[in-house]
Amino acid sequence: MEQTYIMIKPDGVQRGLVGNIISRFEQKGFFLRGLKIITVDRALAEKHYADLSAKPFFNGLVDYIISGPVVAMVWEGKGVVTTGRKIIGATNPAESAPGTIRGDFAIDIGRNVIHGSDSVESARKEIALWFPEGTVNWQSNAHPWIYE
């Protein structure tokens, strides 16, 4: 089944949004396969955002991600990469719809609370990067009530 990497950024942790964000993924019907709170070193943050290294905001982005602990998660379910991005909302909170995480909780693009993988291939790479120890494989009893 498809998996995605979701990360609550330092602003989301500091503002006490962890429980609310986890609830949204859980209530949708996705399954939690990995969860940890960690403080990120610069090397890991730079690797995660390597595709953006030429952008003018890259250093500020890395400084932001390493400024406090993040909550790293792996969520699983049918279409979780695309649906996860919908739950999160547009990158710039000024354009995120109300009802999305960024639409409800964020104002500035550089403080947009949460990250979600943008493709199945990115998810695979990001899960390997953030969870080298692996994830937890468990069978939920809710499966027959979520999938037809």
List residues binding ligand RTP (CB under 6 A): 52, 57, 61, 91, 109-110, 112, 115-116, 118
Terminal C-alpha separation, the chain: 15
Least CB distance to ligand RTP at residue 145 (A) = 30
Q: Which is nearer to ligand RTP, 38 or 147 (CB)?
A: 38
State how far the Cα of 75 lies from the Cα of 30, in Å rounded to an integer. 6
Q: Which is nearer to ligand RTP, 76 or 114 (CB)?
A: 114
**Number of residue whose CB is nearest ligand RTP:** 91
The answer to whether 33 is a known ligand-binding residue is: no
Q: Which residue, among 28, 136, 35, has the nearest Cα to 82 in the 3D structure?
A: 28
The answer to whether 91 is a known ligand-binding residue is: yes
Q: Which residue, among 82, 87, 120, has the nearest Cα to 8 in the 3D structure?
A: 87
The answer to whether 57 is a known ligand-binding residue is: yes
Q: Which of 115, 117, 126, 127 is catalytic?
A: 115
State how far the Cα of 74 lies from the Cα of 116, in Å rounded to an integer. 10
Least CB distance to ligand RTP at residue 60 (A) = 7
Say what angle helices 80-88 and 18-28 make with each other, to 10 degrees: 140
Least CB distance to ligand RTP at residue 48 (A) = 8
Pairing of the two strands 31-38 and 70-76: antiparallel
The answer to whether 31 is a known ligand-binding residue is: no
Least CB distance to ligand RTP at residue 113 (A) = 9
Neighbours of 36 (CB within 10 A): 13
The yes-or-no answer on residue 48 being catalytic is no
Residues classed as catalytic: 115
Annotated binding site for ATP, which residues?
9, 57, 85, 91, 102, 112
